[in-house]
Structure 1
Amino acid sequence: MLKDYYADLHIHVGRNQYGGPVKITASKHLTIENILLEASERKGIDIVGVIDCQAPAVLEELQQLLSDSKAVEKKEGGIQFGNTTLMLGSEIEIYDQNCAGPIHVLCYFPFLKSMTIFSNWLSDHMKNSQLSSQRFYGSAVALQQKTKELDGIFIPAHVFTPFKSLFGKGVRQSLEEVFNPEWIDAIELGLSADTHMADQIAELHRYTYVTNSDAHSLAKIAREYQLIRMAEPTFKELQMAFHQIEERKVIKNFGMNPRLGKYYTTVCQKCLRPYKESPCPQCESVTFIKGVADRIAELKTSSQPLSNRPAYLYQVPLEYIPALGPKTLDKLIDHFGNEMSVIHHVNKEALIPVIGNKIAEMIIQLREGKLLIESGGGGKYGKIAHK
């Protein structure tokens, strides 16, 4: 029997078990065990993809969790910890001779053994495999091929962000400039794009879209995620869902309104105000950071929305709601179990005695995608507008 599972497949490790950095810009509290505890006990996320598992120190820590019986490796791939299954992933930067600019990609593998083989192989193509998102010295297709040799999943990451992404600056027009399209399993949209925006590019119509947090802190886990229909939360079932085999599939994407993303709007590079004319009327700068919406307009090859896409539901993380601070969030989790329950299931009448009518109403508006948004751009997030 098929069931539905919440999944966030792009979470960074900030520090390894020795206290050394993995993702330098990520929180020191983002350790493997903290990620799994946060996902399992507070967020209510069934599947997490940790995308720095190629780091040798992270591999050692995962092996220790298995040896200590704190986690169990599944026969069909993935590592079970509490209520959450960990998918072993790696974020890598590609910049080969065919790229117009650097591109980040995500590679996932079913078992610790296969990730260890991949990590050892990367050490011959990378200057420092202990750190996250490092440059791969080789061709994009060679990386795809190795991923497939190890029965892995290959996903271009946050494909529209202005920096280090497939369509941001990585290719001029088409993914076929860099990748073998047959060896791509899904497309990660990123915080500043949604399904409707991505489907304006015809060559993406064949792929499943995923929406992930790219979390650099514990609080950011599950700011974007998807609901996936599978028989059980394993690597093999995830592969099947991406290719819609035997009714496995992504059935809903939950993402922030793209206008909340850091790169939705084209802005002046100097003052970060919306850039509509040159020079900027505010500071007279002639340089700008092109927003995702404008970049997609340049690439547009289709005006026909796909009827078989899963629903893309706009949601805002609870931490974005004005007046809902850490103590109030803790109170909600104590009463209702985890954030997924609060966001999706608890009715307004049950919320009001715990947090009051005003915040309860904003949570319901969050659930229904009705909160007012001020757009972000140039590396600055959008925000919830005060009425």
Structure 2
Amino acid sequence: MNFPRIFADLHIHIGWTANGLPVKVTGSRKLTFANILQEASHRKGMDMVGIIDAHSPPVIAEIEEGIADRRLKEHQGGGLLYQGTTAILGTEIELRGTQGLFHVLTYVPDLMAMKELSHFLARYMKNPQLSTQRFHGGIDQLVEKVQKVGGIVIPAHVFTPFKSVYGSACHHITELFEPNTLAGIELGLSCDTAMADQIEELASFTFLSNSDAHSLGKIGREYNEIALKESSFSELKMALMRQDGRQVTKNYGLDPKLGKYYRTRCANCGKRCETSEVCCAVCKSPRIIKGVSDRIAEIATPSAVPPSHRAPYIYQVPLEFIPKVGPKTLDKLFTHFGTEMTVIHRTPLEAIARLVGEPIAKQIGLARENCLVLEEGGGGVYGRIAKK
């Protein structure tokens, strides 16, 4: 059965509440629940967004106000409807693994389930108003509660050097979870499907590529194309489990070289380093950050083969990464052509050239063909498109 395809970015943080209370302290003050939905729907062209930090009590109060004044409508299949976009309520939670700390994403079907989860988390967190707080309980305890309220658990950015499953917490995911308790795996900005498929124990999981946005402009820098009957939580859950024709059909993401943790580098001077080095040969700093590509090489399974269900990974360059595309140019593009998804995927290059010039149109064309020359990121610094 052929189902409609939607675009979904399932990891977007709330920076602050509309009343000025902090939620994700490293997030933009403009990153409120209402602004996320407006940006995702009107400018980015996302059909579904996972809004993380919806467990925060003041955020829950904002959602209740939105439902009361009919700006938001609860979907019978789970999720909240805002015009043409469905919001899936989620959280990011910090847990302790066998070797260190890591993050997981949890998603629940509706506001009632989120309120119940929020009350539960408050018993095990020091400040449940804030994002990505440490859960002072057991991993199994959290998973059991999320499943009890009808939710799902997905490990976040699983290869990044800090606070991720493989980056800092374990060598094998089975050290932390029973595989059947997870609904999928989030890759992270410095990894793609080909890299992750070198880990044999991940073959059964659906992969997700999400933005982990900390500002409005970062929404949709990575996203997924999903085949669903309708845009709802229950359909999303079926797609992650690949049930009855629902499935993730494409992952759109940055070329891993553009990620800020792709290569092992010195965080002080940026020099490329070997993983065996204990300090930088140039500046002598001990702040060497192991790259995702090097970490995967350490734990790769030589016999690993990509599974038949694996969705293709399409390298995606957000418009803000294109040289000379600033805020004014973005506004011009969106005013004339609609959303970012329309500009990236559907607008003829000739029309883009007439509006903003041939050089920008050419770069967008090269991005569509995956022909841009990239400078690798690492050590906490994003890669970039090489200027010609």
Instruction: Could you tell me which runs of 5 or more consecutive residues in structure 1 were left unpaired when the two chains were aligned.
Output: none
3-state DSSP class of the match of 2:367?
helix
Distance 1:129 1:285 in 2: 36
Q: State the partner residue of 1:141.
A: 140
3-state DSSP class of the match of 1:105?
strand
Q: State the partner residue of 1:298.
A: 298
How many angstroms does 1:303 deviate by? 3.9
Aligned partner letter, 1:268: C
3-state DSSP class of the match of 2:50?
strand
Encode CA deviations 1:15-39: one digit per residue, 9 max, x unaligned. 0132010000000000000000000
| CA separation of 1:175 and 1:337: change in aligned 2, threshold 3 A | same
Q: State the partner residue of 2:163.
A: 164
Match of 1:208 among 201, 206, 218: 206
8 A Cα contact 1:162 1:263, kept in partner: yes
How many angstroms does 1:287 deviate by? 4.8
Q: State the partner residue of 1:189.
A: 187
3-state DSSP class of the match of 1:135?
coil
Distance 1:350 1:286 in 2: 50
Instruction: Calculate the TM-score normalised by the size of structure 2.
Output: 0.97
Write the mapping of 1:99-138 to structure 2, written as runs, cut at 5 A.
99-138=98-137
Distance 2:265 2:210 in 1: 24
3-state DSSP class of the match of 1:69?
coil
Aligned partner letter, 2:70: S
Distance 1:75 1:280 in 2: 56
Write the mapping of 1:167-246 to structure 2, written as runs, cut at 5 A.
167-171=166-170, 173-246=171-244
Distance 1:39 1:285 in 2: 41
Encode CA deviations 1:150-198: one digit per residue, 9 max, x unaligned. 1101100000000000000111x11111112111000000000000000
Distance 1:244 1:360 in 2: 37
Aligned partner letter, 2:59: V
Distance 2:342 2:17 in 1: 31
Distance 2:16 2:60 in 1: 13
Distance 1:138 1:51 in 2: 20
How many angstroms does 1:363 deviate by? 0.7
How many angstroms does 1:272 deviate by? 2.3
8 A Cα contact 1:36 1:81, kept in partner: yes
Aligned partner letter, 1:296: I
Q: State the partner residue of 1:379.
A: 380
Distance 1:16 1:99 in 2: 35
8 A Cα contact 2:204 2:307, kept in partner: no
How many angstroms does 1:358 deviate by? 1.0
Distance 1:386 1:62 in 2: 44
8 A Cα contact 1:141 1:180, kept in partner: no
Distance 1:8 1:215 in 2: 9
How many angstroms does 1:281 deviate by? 3.1
User: Percentage identity across aligned positions?
Assistant: 50
Q: Which moved more, 1:302-311 or 1:56-65?
A: 302-311
Distance 1:274 1:321 in 2: 25
Q: State the partner residue of 1:258.
A: 256
Instruction: Could you tell me which runs of 5 or more consecutive residues in structure 2 were left unpaired when the two chains were aligned.
Output: none
Encode CA deviations 1:286-329: one digit per residue, 9 max, x unaligned. 55211000100111014423343111011111001111111111
Aligned partner letter, 1:191: L
How many angstroms does 1:285 deviate by? 3.6
Q: State the partner residue of 2:30.
A: 29
Encode CA deviations 1:104-156: one digit per residue, 9 max, x unaligned. 00000001000000000111011110000000011111111111111101100
Q: State the partner residue of 1:47.
A: 48
3-state DSSP class of the match of 1:353?
helix
Distance 2:310 2:379 in 1: 29
3-state DSSP class of the match of 2:7?
strand
Encode CA deviations 1:65-96: one digit per residue, 9 max, x unaligned. 0000001000110000011100000000001x
Q: Does 1:348 align with 2:349?
A: yes
Dislocated runs of 4+, deviation >2 Å:
276-281, 284-287, 302-308
3-state DSSP class of the match of 2:100?
coil
Distance 2:5 2:136 in 1: 39
Q: Does 1:12 align with 2:13?
A: yes
Q: State the partner residue of 1:59.
A: 60
How many angstroms does 1:373 deviate by? 0.8
| CA separation of 1:244 and 1:295: change in aligned 2, threshold 3 A | same
Distance 2:64 2:326 in 1: 36
Q: State the partner residue of 1:87.
A: 88
Distance 2:135 2:280 in 1: 37
Distance 2:20 2:287 in 1: 40
8 A Cα contact 1:11 1:215, kept in partner: yes
Encode CA deviations 1:312-356: one digit per residue, 9 max, x unaligned. 011111001111111111111111111000001111122111111
Distance 1:378 1:343 in 2: 29
